[in-house]
Structure formats: C-alpha cells, structure tokens
C-alpha cells in the first residue's frame, strides 16, 4: 500500500522538476533572445551565436502572428516581444501547475502518514498478541520452598530443647507440610531434605496457591512456636511452559533461594511479566534489586494487596 503512494508522490515530484526545468529554459531563452533583439536594434552584434535561436523563435511566432510594430517611424519585428509575453505566461502557468502538484503531494503525504500509522498500530498490535501468546505459553508454575527451625532461646545448650527433639520436630514439620502441599489441586509435590518442590499446571490459580502457602506457613510457624521454636521459610517462583526441562526450572529456583530472603516470595522478571496477564491480582510484584542469577537479573518480591 505504501509503495503505491510513494510511487505517486515520486511521480508528482518528477513532474514538478520537469516544469521547473522548462521554466528555467524559458527564462534563459527569453533573456538571450530579448538581449539579442535589443542589441540588434542598436546595431550591436555581440551575441551572434544566438542568431539561430532568435531566428527560430521569430519564424515560429510568425507562423501564427506576422506584424511589424512602428516606433518613431522605425518598424520593429514584434514577434520577439510576443514570444516574450507568451513565454512569461507559460512560466506563470508553470508556477500554477507546480502549486497544484505540490497540493497533490501534500495530500499524498497525509495519506502516507495515516497509512504508516495504521500499519504501525497493526504491527504493534501483532507484536503485543505474539508477546501475549508467548507469555501465556508459560501456563505452569514451579514453586520451591525451604525452611529452617531455630530455638526461641537461641543456644540449644540453654534451651530445654535437645538436638533429638529438634530433629523430631523437623520430621513433624516435613510430614505436615508434605501432606498439606499434596492437597493442592493441579499440583505435584516432591521433597528433598528440607526443600519442597511444587509443580502446578494452572498458572491462572497462582493467587489461590499463594494464599494457601502463606496460610500454611503461618500455621506451621504457630505450631513450632508452641515448642519454643521459630520457623524461617524461603520461597521462590518460576513460570515455565510444557517444553521446558524441569531441571532447568529447579536450578533457577535454587539460585533464587540462595539469595536468602526469609519470609518473602521472590521471583524473576519471567514471573512478573506472566503475572501481568492475571486479571484480578491479589499480589503486587515489588522490585528488590538486581542480582547475579545467570548474568544480571532483576529480582521481585510479591506483596499481598490490602
């Protein structure tokens, strides 16, 4: 579409250039012929090389008009003066034609701008649609949770808790958390040491999953506090599509947990971009800073909306 309008614009500009060249040629001819005619009147022969041109113009005009002008008893060939008048009219007419062509170019420029804007909007819309499709492919979410237990009184020697009771409590926490996490719909849970890996295949339910996790971790904290212990948790999120290797997701989640941000739910920009497509968000991603995860990645923390 734009090529057609650009071709039209080029054509009009080409015609303007032609008219301009013709005007220049006419100006030169008028100047030379008129000067030659004037010098001939005063019997001066300085521009003899213009004779052929002057004779051609005079003979051409005489085909249509043959009349002598008498001035002070001297007869003067009026064909040159008539040619000058006609040529000047042609030059003026050429200016009007150029003005018309300029208006056509202006109209075409307006059309080109509109078509270009429409094409840009269409291109941006297609880019946005492609971007959305790419983001929506990340329909799965990986969640890695790890924890640590600590005595409220600090040093185990001064506490009533022994190492054996600490290990027993950790086993209870492991058991209860595993059982609670396994109840999440559309999610699979795997355990390794004090780490729990959740693989959920419905990203649209991420807010419900996060609410469930926050409630579970709060309950576990209250549970261990009764035994004079505190629960410190670390949680990381990473979206992925059906073609992504789970090992890659697990590696990324472990790198996030290595940042040691207790009590926070952290993620990379992948999650933040995918989360934008959740219609009614219960959480707000807040930038924590830039950390060395792979190269240099921005890390976000999820804050519950009031």
Quick one: how many helices (H) and strands (E) in the chain? 7, 9
Whether residue 196 contacts residue 217, with contact meaning beta carbons closer than 8 Å, is answered with: no
CA distance 11 to 18: 11
Task: Say what the pLDDT of residue 276 is.
Answer: 87
* The token pair that represents 113 in the structure block: 């701008």
pLDDT per 10-residue tile (average), the chain, 306 residues: 83 90 86 72 65 70 62 60 81 91 91 87 82 81 92 57 72 91 92 92 92 93 86 93 90 92 92 88 91 79 90
How is residue 23 written in tokens?
A: 């005007």
pLDDT at position 158 is 46
Please give the DSSP secondary-structure letter assigned to residue 130. Answer: H
- Expressed in percent and rounded to 5, the helix, strand and coil fractions of the chain are 60, 20, 20
Q: Which residues contact 234 (CB under 8 A, 6 or more apart)?
A: 145, 146, 147, 257, 260, 261, 262, 264
pLDDT at residue 272 in the model: 87
Q: Are the C-beta atoms of residues 246 and 143 closer than 8 Å to each other?
A: no
pLDDT at 50: 65
Place of tokens 């309008």: 5
- Report the pLDDT value the prediction gives residue 47, as an integer from 0 to 100: 65
What is the rounded CA–CA span in Å between residue 130 and residue 242? 18
Per the CATH hierarchy, to which homologous superfamily does domain 139-304 belong? Nucleotide cyclase, GGDEF domain (3.30.70.1230)
User: What spatial distance separates the first Cα and last Cα of the chain, rounded to whole Å?
Assistant: 52
At 208 the pLDDT is 93
Task: Determine the pLDDT at residue 261.
Answer: 93
Q: Is 184 helix (H, G, I), strand (E, B) or coil?
A: coil
Ordered by start, the domain boundaries in the chain are 2-135, 139-304
CA distance 118 to 145: 48
CA distance linking residue 240 with residue 201, whole number of Å: 9
């Amino acid at each position: 579409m734009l090529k057609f309008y650009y071709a039209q614009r080029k054509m009009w500009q080409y015609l303007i250039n032609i008219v301009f060249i013709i005007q220049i040629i006419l100006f030169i001819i008028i100047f030379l012929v008129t000067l030659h005619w004037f010098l001939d009147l005063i019997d001066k022969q300085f521009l003899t090389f213009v004779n052929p041109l002057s004779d051609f113009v005079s003979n051409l005009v005489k085909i249509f008009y043959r009349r002598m002008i008498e001035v002070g008893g001297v007869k003067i060939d009026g064909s040159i003066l008539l040619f000058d008048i006609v040529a000047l009219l042609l030059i003026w007419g050429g200016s009007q034609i150029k003005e018309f062509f300029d208006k056509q170019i202006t109209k075409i420029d307006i059309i080109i701008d509109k078509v270009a804007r429409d094409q840009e909007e269409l291109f941006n819309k297609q880019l946005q649609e492609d971007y959305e499709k790419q983001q929506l492919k990340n329909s799965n979410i990986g969640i890695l949770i790890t924890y640590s237990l600590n005595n409220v009184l600090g040093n185990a020697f001064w506490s009533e808790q022994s190492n054996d009771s600490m290990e027993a409590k950790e086993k209870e926490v492991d058991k209860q958390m595993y059982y609670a996490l396994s109840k999440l719909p559309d999610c699979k849970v795997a355990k390794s040491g004090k780490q729990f890996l959740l693989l959920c295949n419905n990203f649209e339910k991420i807010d419900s999953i996060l609410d469930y996790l926050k409630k579970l971790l709060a309950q576990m904290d209250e549970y261990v506090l009764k035994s004079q212990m505190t629960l410190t948790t670390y949680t990381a999120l990473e979206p992925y599509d059906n073609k992504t290797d789970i090992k890659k997701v697990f590696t990324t989640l472990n790198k996030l947990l290595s940042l040691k941000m207790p009590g926070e739910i952290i993620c990379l920009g992948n999650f933040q971009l995918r989360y934008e497509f959740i219609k009614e968000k219960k959480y707000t991603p807040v930038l924590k800073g830039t950390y060395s995860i792979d190269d240099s990645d921005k890390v976000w923390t999820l804050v519950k909306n009031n």
